[in-house]
Amino acid sequence: MKNKQLILTKRPLGVPDADTWHLNEADVPALEDGEFLVENVFVSIDPTMRGWINDRKSYMPPVALGEVMRAAGTVGKVLQSKHEDFLPGHYVLGSGGIQLYTISNGKGWHRVDPTLAPLHKYLSVLGMTGFTAYFGLLDVGQPKTGETILVSGAAGAVGSIVGQIGKIKGCRMIGIAGGEEKCRKLIETYQYDGAIDYKSQKVSTKIKELCPEGVDIYFDNVGGDILDAALARLNFKGRVVLCGGISQYNATSVKGPANYLSLLANRGRMEGFIVFDFARRYGEAAKQLAEWVAAGDIYSDEQIEKGIENFYPTFLKLFSGEKTGKLILQVNDL
């Protein structure tokens, strides 16, 4: 049996080019006791992958040169097993990397049930993406009914869920996204009360107009100039949830917030978090999100691209905005 694996070959400066990775063919080795073989089907494609290929201290070690590219999550089917808990035919969620087949010892892997939800949803609203929105907004942001919450990257995987959780909690939600179509989607599908098109509108002016009583929580997915514009409108005791900074991930020199003194003047708080911090409570988030989805209170979008050879153009879509909702690469048929 032949595997195809995406191997990291160099550390890019700025936007990665196509030869940052290459596709390798290798034999699938025989299983040892305690191992099982997974045929990966869906692979989560995330902005954080850009950080993993820098040789820099972060929340987890970088992917080494010559190693299979890491994926935050993969869903697949067990084909062969010498493990007592994971048996052929089981569907499993883990971190299988960008490759057609993965051999695992089960550490960090869980079974998922394809009869409860379509399998790709376990990488989206019912997985890390949903958990990030849930814990980031509820635990780090601590919203109160009636507050105004501003969200950047609002039509992305995390932002689209944050908007809907905020509405469930009785908050006024304003989203920022790129382009007219995405802004329409914010209001018509993701339940935002107002939308700002950062590509064609002046963000600071629009925040003033759509948040006339200021911003109680700013959920930041993008950083850069938009973070500064939000800080300028932060309310007394306002919270900035530092979830991501995608506008800076390819920057060779990261732009920090010039308006940080707004936190001082407003006795505000800006707090970063990594979803893994909440790993012990994933069960709580999964149950609650599944209930909201079943009740029709939360809708999630996934954009599924096909073929491991299409990893690179798919990856670029994270930064060009040619996507809505959660980006997923399907590497094998279901």
Ligand X SMILES: NC(=O)c1ccc[n+]([C@@H]2O[C@H](COP(=O)([O-])OP(=O)(O)OC[C@H]3O[C@@H](n4cnc5c(N)ncnc54)[C@H](OP(=O)(O)O)[C@@H]3O)[C@@H](O)[C@H]2O)c1
Angle, nearest 10°, between helix axes 157-168 and 282-294? 80
Residue whose tokens read 């494609």: 45
Q: Which residues contact 273 (CB under 8 A, 6 or more apart)?
A: 135, 136, 139, 140, 241, 242, 243
Q: Per rule CB under 6 A, is residue 314 in the interface with ligand X?
A: no
Q: Minimal distance in Å, beta carbon 161 to ligand X?
A: 8
Per-residue binding letters, 205-224, with ligand X (x by CB under 6 A)? ----------------xx--
Q: Per rule CB under 6 A, is residue 48 in the interface with ligand X?
A: yes
Question: What's CA 256's distance to the chain center, in Å?
Answer: 22
| Cβ–Cβ < 8 Å for 218, 271 | no
Per-residue binding letters, 258-277, with ligand X (x by CB under 6 A)? ---------------xxx--
Q: Which of the 8 DSSP states describes residue 195? A: E
Smaller CB separation from ligand X, 1 or 279: 279
DSSP result, 140-182: II---TT-EEEESSTTBHHHHHHHHHHHHTT-EEEEEESSHHH
- Please work out the total of residues on this chain that contact ligand X, with binding judged by CB under 6 A: 29
Per-residue binding letters, 1-40, with ligand X (x by CB under 6 A)? ----------------------------------------
| Cβ–Cβ < 8 Å for 21, 9 | yes
Which residues on adjacent β-strands are paired with residue 6? 23
Q: Per rule CB under 6 A, is residue 151 in the interface with ligand X?
A: no
Q: Minimal distance in Å, beta carbon 131 to ligand X?
A: 8
Q: Per rule CB under 6 A, is residue 106 in the interface with ligand X?
A: no
Q: Give the 3-state secondary structure percentages of the chain, helix then strand then coil, rounded to 5.
A: 30, 25, 40
| Cβ–Cβ < 8 Å for 157, 326 | yes
Smaller CB separation from ligand X, 43 or 327: 327
Smaller CB separation from ligand X, 67 or 180: 180
Query: By CB under 6 A, which span of 17-25, 139-147, 153-161, 261-269 interacts with ligand X?
Result: 153-161
Q: Which of 70, 83, 182, 206 binds ligand X (CB under 6 A)?
A: 182
- Give the footprint of ligand X on this chain (CB under 6 A): 46-48, 129, 132, 153, 155-159, 177-178, 182, 198, 221-222, 243-247, 273-275, 318-319, 321, 327
